């Protein structure tokens, strides 16, 4: 028996309801834009449909923590949990990108006037595969951020995560005030494709870091010491 089968099925079970909800919400959004397209003047931007899917990939790592405990308690390992998560996320990334772009390419045929915005509109190119790829990249970027934040949160707990967050916020604000971010914004606007790929590269690092952190992760949230090997005291038996 493949020992990954159980963890993989548990992750899929956890992801399915939210995924289906998102498909429903996205279709409902398209429906709303169809209605709006009859009331708009000229070829105006009506809105976006990628929002729910982008948000859910940011949130999935938090949703999947319940599966972490279930997998471990049934005899699975932390590594299996992480591998099953990455595998399932990859499948849902591709599915989500196909659905999003299917609806995007369907929209001109069902809209009276107007259009919906796609992140790939910022990139110079009209290849449909590029559009799918940009969606995959953005969802992966958001997943990478989500999984790193969730890993830190799970390992360090609420108080220590908020402390780390406060430090990062101060550094970010100081950077905004004292550093010249003009070239970065220019790069974002003029070299969108490169920018997205760099962010995706950073996300790969986030995912790897999360794997390294979680492969020996604690059983309960906040039970890892940061600078020593060990755990906090358990609850009384």
Scan for tokens 């196909």, then name that residue.
98
Please compute, for residue 45, the number of CA atoms within 13 A of its CA located in the half-sphere on the CB side.
7
Asked whether the beta carbons of 21 and 99 are under 8 A apart, the reply is no
Among the residue ranges 78-86, 107-115, 158-166, 175-183, the one whose residues contact another protein (CB under 8 A): 78-86
* Residue closer to another protein (CB basis): 52 or 218: 218
Binder to another protein among 43, 77, 158, 194 (CB under 8 A)?
77
Position 45 contacts another protein (CB under 8 A): no
Binder to another protein among 49, 78, 118, 196 (CB under 8 A)?
78
Position 226 contacts another protein (CB under 8 A): no
Among the residue ranges 114-122, 175-183, 196-204, 229-237, the one whose residues contact another protein (CB under 8 A): 229-237
Residues binding another protein (CB under 8 A): 1, 3-6, 9-10, 13-14, 17, 66-67, 69-70, 72-80, 215-216, 219, 223, 225, 228, 230-234, 236-237
């Amino acid at each position: 028996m493949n020992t990954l089968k159980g963890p993989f099925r548990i992750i899929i079970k956890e992801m399915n309801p939210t995924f289906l909800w998102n498909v429903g919400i996205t279709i409902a959004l398209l429906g709303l834009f169809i209605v709006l397209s009859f009331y708009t003047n000229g070829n105006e931007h009506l809105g976006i449909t990628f929002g729910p899917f982008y948000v859910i990939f940011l949130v999935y790592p938090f949703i999947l923590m319940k599966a972490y405990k279930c997998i471990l308690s049934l005899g699975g390992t932390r590594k299996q949990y992480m591998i099953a998560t990455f595998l399932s996320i990859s499948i849902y990334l591709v599915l989500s990108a196909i659905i999003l772009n299917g609806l995007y390419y369907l929209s001109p045929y069902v809209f009276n006037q107007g259009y919906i915005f796609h992140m790939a509109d910022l990139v110079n190119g009209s290849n449909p595969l590029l559009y799918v790829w940009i969606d995959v990249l953005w969802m992966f970027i958001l997943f990478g951020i989500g999984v790193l934040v969730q890993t830190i949160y799970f390992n360090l707990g609420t108080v220590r995560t908020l402390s780390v967050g406060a430090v990062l916020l101060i550094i970010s604000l100081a950077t905004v005030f004292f550093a010249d971010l003009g070239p970065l914004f220019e790069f974002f606007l003029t070299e969108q494709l490169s920018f997205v790929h760099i962010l995706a590269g950073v996300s790969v690092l986030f995912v790897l870091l999360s794997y390294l952190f979680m492969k020996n992760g604690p059983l309960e949230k906040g039970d890892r010491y940061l600078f020593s090997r060990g755990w906090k005291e358990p609850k009384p038996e």
